C-alpha cells in the first residue's frame, strides 16, 4: 500500500489539492470518474478522497472500491451538496466521542 494521498475531483477542486502534494485525478464526465477510480484503486493509495460530485458519477463502482480502499468523500468546491461534509462530520464526531456522549444524554 502506498503512503500517498489521492483525490478524484473536478478541475477546480484539483487545483487546490494538487499544490499540497496529493496525486490528483481531474474528472468532468462519468467515464473519466470511473476510469480514475479504477486507476486509483490499482495504485492502492493510503486514502482516496473523492468530491461528492465525483462520487455520484461513479455509481455502484464506488461501493466495490470502498471494500478495498479507504475512501473519504469531501465537499466539492463547485456544488457543495453537503454529502461529503456530512460524512466528515460523522467521522470527526466518532473520533472525538461526541456521538457516544449524545447517545447517553
**101 backbone φψ class: left, alpha, beta (φ>0; ψ -120 to 50):** alpha
Are residues 21 and 7 in contact, defined by beta-carbon separation less than 8 angstroms? no
Look up the pTM and report it. 0.73
Please tell me the CATH superfamily of domain 5-104, with its number: ATPase, V1 complex, subunit F (3.40.50.10580)
Give the pLDDT score at 28.
93
The β-bridge relationship of strands 23-26 and 47-51 is unpaired
Give the pLDDT score at 29.
94
Break the chain into its structural domains and give their ranges: 5-104
How confident is the prediction along the chain (105 residues), in pLDDT tens digits per residue?
Answer: 567 899 999 988 898 888 888 899 999 999 999 999 999 888 888 889 999 889 888 888 888 888 888 888 888 776 655 655 666 666 666 666 665 555 665
- In this structure, what C-alpha cell is assigned to residue 55? 462520487
Amino acid at each position: 500500500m502506498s503512503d500517498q494521498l489521492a483525490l478524484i475531483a473536478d478541475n477546480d477542486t484539483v487545483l487546490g489539492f494538487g499544490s499540497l502534494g496529493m496525486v490528483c485525478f481531474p474528472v468532468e464526465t462519468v467515464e473519466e470518474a470511473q476510469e480514475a477510480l479504477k486507476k486509483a484503486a490499482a495504485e492502492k493509495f493510503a486514502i482516496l478522497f473523492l468530491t461528492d460530485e465525483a462520487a455520484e458519477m461513479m455509481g455502484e463502482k464506488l461501493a466495490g472500491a470502498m471494500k478495498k480502499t479507504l475512501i473519504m468523500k469531501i465537499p466539492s468546491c463547485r456544488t457543495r451538496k453537503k454529502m461529503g461534509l456530512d460524512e466528515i462530520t460523522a467521522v470527526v464526531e466518532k473520533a472525538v466521542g461526541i456521538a457516544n456522549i449524545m447517545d447517553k444524554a
